[in-house]
């Protein structure tokens, strides 16, 4: 017997109904421990309708890398601004292995380095748009060999 499921968007979920079928993508998993409750599997999921963006720009205002704690795990974090071909700027924050690679390749601000963040997560925080990587599903490239990067370098 075939069963047909209605797939719902995460934005449609409400507490009135108890059973939902939601198509998601698994972005990241880790095991978390608590003395009181023991170990648990933690997950970051994304709704099928969540859009990821490709963001490209010249690296400006690169601040030094920081080591931050996420639970028991330490991660590298870097913050910087990108300027696009139209001179618009956006704040960026990347973490994890992408941040380590970024800080190895980009040594200083305003050196003409171009950064491409593929599958970036964009969000509005206190009226300003910001960009971050979506754990390991984002790809961060420095000075990629594409026409958009070449156009930015010539500007």
| pLDDT tens column, 69-78 | 777 788 889 9
Q: Quick check: 115 and 61 in contact, CB under 8 A?
A: no
Residue 61 corresponds to which tokens in the numbers above?
A: 């205002």
Q: Is residue 112 part of a domain?
A: yes
Q: Is residue 104 part of a domain?
A: yes
Same domain for 41 and 62, yes or no, is no
pLDDT digits (tens, 9 = 90+) for 84-103: 999 999 999 998 888 888 88
Same domain for 60 and 21, yes or no, is no
Q: Is residue 148 part of a domain?
A: yes
**How far is Cα 102 from Cα 132, in angstroms, rounded to an integer?**
13
Same domain for 24 and 74, yes or no, is no
Per the DSSP assignment, residues forming a β-bridge with 59 are 82
Same domain for 14 and 33, yes or no, is yes
Distance of CA 9 to CAs 48, 51, 53, 135, Å?
7, 13, 19, 22
**How large is the average pLDDT for residues 32-48?**
75
Same domain for 27 and 90, yes or no, is no
Q: Is residue 65 part of a domain?
A: yes
Q: Which residue did the predictor score with more confidence, 18 or 73?
A: 73
pLDDT higher than threshold 70 for residue 139: yes
Count of structural domains, the chain? 2
Same domain for 25 and 63, yes or no, is no
Name the residue range of residue 23's domain.
Answer: 10-47
Cα 136 to its chain centre, rounded Å, is 8
Same domain for 115 and 92, yes or no, is yes
**pTM listed for this prediction:** 0.66
**How far is Cα 80 from Cα 115, in angstroms, rounded to an integer?**
10
Q: Is residue 131 part of a domain?
A: yes
Same domain for 26 and 75, yes or no, is no
SS3 content of the chain, % helix, strand, coil (to 5): 15, 50, 35
**How large is the average pLDDT for residues 99-123?**
84
- Give the number of other CB atoms < 10 A from CB of residue 100: 16
């Amino acid at each position: 017997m075939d069963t047909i499921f209605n797939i719902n968007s995460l934005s449609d979920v409400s507490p009135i109904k108890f059973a939902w079928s939601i198509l998601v993508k698994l972005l990241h998993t880790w095991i978390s421990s608590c003395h009181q409750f023991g170990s648990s599997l933690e997950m970051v999921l994304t709704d099928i309708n969540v859009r990821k963006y490709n963001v490209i720009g010249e690296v400006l205002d690169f601040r030094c890398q920081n080591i931050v704690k996420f639970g028991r795990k330490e991660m590298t974090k870097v913050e910087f601004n990108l300027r696009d071909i139209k001179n618009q700027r956006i704040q960026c924050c990347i973490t994890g292995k992408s941040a380590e690679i970024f800080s190895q390749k980009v040594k200083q601000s305003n050196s003409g380095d171009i950064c491409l963040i593929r599958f970036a997560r964009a969000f509005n925080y206190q009226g300003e748009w910001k960009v971050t990587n979506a754990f390991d599903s984002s790809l961060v490239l420095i000075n990629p060999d594409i026409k958009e990067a070449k156009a930015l370098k010539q500007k």
